[in-house]
Amino acid sequence: MQKTEQLNTTTSSTRNLLMFLIPSLLGVLLFMTPVVTNGGFTIPIAVLAKSLLGALGDSATVVVTSIIMISAVGSVLALATKPRFVTESKFLSGLFLASPVWLTVRLLGATFVLMAFFGFGPEHVTGGATGGFVLADLLPTLLSVFVFAGLFLPLLTNFGLLELIGTFMTRIMRPLFGLPGRSAVDCASSWLGDGSVAILMSSKQYEQGYYTEREAAIVGTTFSVVSISFSLVVIAQVGLEHMFVPFYLTVCLAGFVAAVVVPRLPPLCWKKNTLVNGEEKVLESEALPEGETLFSYGVKSA
């Protein structure tokens, strides 16, 4: 009987370890591993997004415009009629029952997108350097990135990687930046991967109750701002690719200093330290349980 219990415990521990390792390693590979392509450095998620964008071709703007119109019109109809299939569905109600502020933003966005799509209205709204650029270039790119990011992001966030990294990094991230240790993954995924992916990750962490309002704002404005791939695009525009290493190291240094200083200044320091449900966040003790090392406790938490 005792041998059976020990065998079951060992099997369960092995299964839990594999459930942590395999998805987390896949997440690191997809979101945080730079790969070399014809256009320079990128990450696998960006390669998948680019493939989807290429498959959509010229229809990408139609898809984006349709999504924005469905969001705006669906919100108006849902708020006006409140059908049961929307109000009783957590997913649909969260999607269409928008607050007055977000409803206004959606309606304005739909209006501007229609103007840019059909080419009517003021030039500063529909021009190729403003609305035309956003609709034809920026939004299709974000759509393709978010499709794969939304699909695979749980590999990074839901299988223990944040708990492991958080255990190691809390003593660094909290004093320096006022952030939990798990935010180090946000930082790495942004600087090594893609800033828009890191923004999506930060949003999910806030919605799931891991970040406070202040922490989410700090991560979104100080860490999720630059990436290797974007830095390559910027330096290529001015023809200084041969100086990429000193340029990127300078960007990293400036970003680090800003991340230390800016959260202590208004308006970030004015942000509430409350969770998404309005409750105050209680900081967990950073002391290790008796008999645990940093590594063993990190693995157990994961």
pLDDT in tens, 50-100: 889 889 888 999 999 999 999 999 999 999 999 999 899 988 898 899 999
Q: Is 122 exposed, middle or buried (0-12, 13-18, 19+ CB in 10 A)?
A: exposed
- Per-residue pLDDT band for 9 (boundaries 50, 70, 90) equals low
Residue 101 is predicted with a pLDDT of: 94
Residue 168 is predicted with a pLDDT of: 82
- Per-residue pLDDT band for 8 (boundaries 50, 70, 90) equals low
Higher pLDDT, 12 or 170: 170
Residue 79 is predicted with a pLDDT of: 93
Q: Please tell me which of 71-85, 146-160, 268-282 the model is most confident about, judged by mean pLDDT.
A: 71-85
Q: What does 47-103 look like in DSSP terms, one character per residue?
A: HHHHHHHHHHGGGHHHHHHHHHHHHHHHHHHHHHH--HHHHT-HHHHHHH---HHHH
Cα-based distances in Å from 209 to 19, 102, 204: 23, 21, 9
CB distance 126 to 120 below 8 Å: yes
Residue 15 is predicted with a pLDDT of: 87
Higher pLDDT, 80 or 148: 80
pLDDT average, residue stretch 130-159: 85
Q: Please tell me which of 17-21, 153-157, 245-249 the model is most confident about, judged by mean pLDDT.
A: 17-21
Phi and psi torsions of 228, nearest 5°: -60, -45
DSSP state of 299: H
Residue 71 is predicted with a pLDDT of: 94
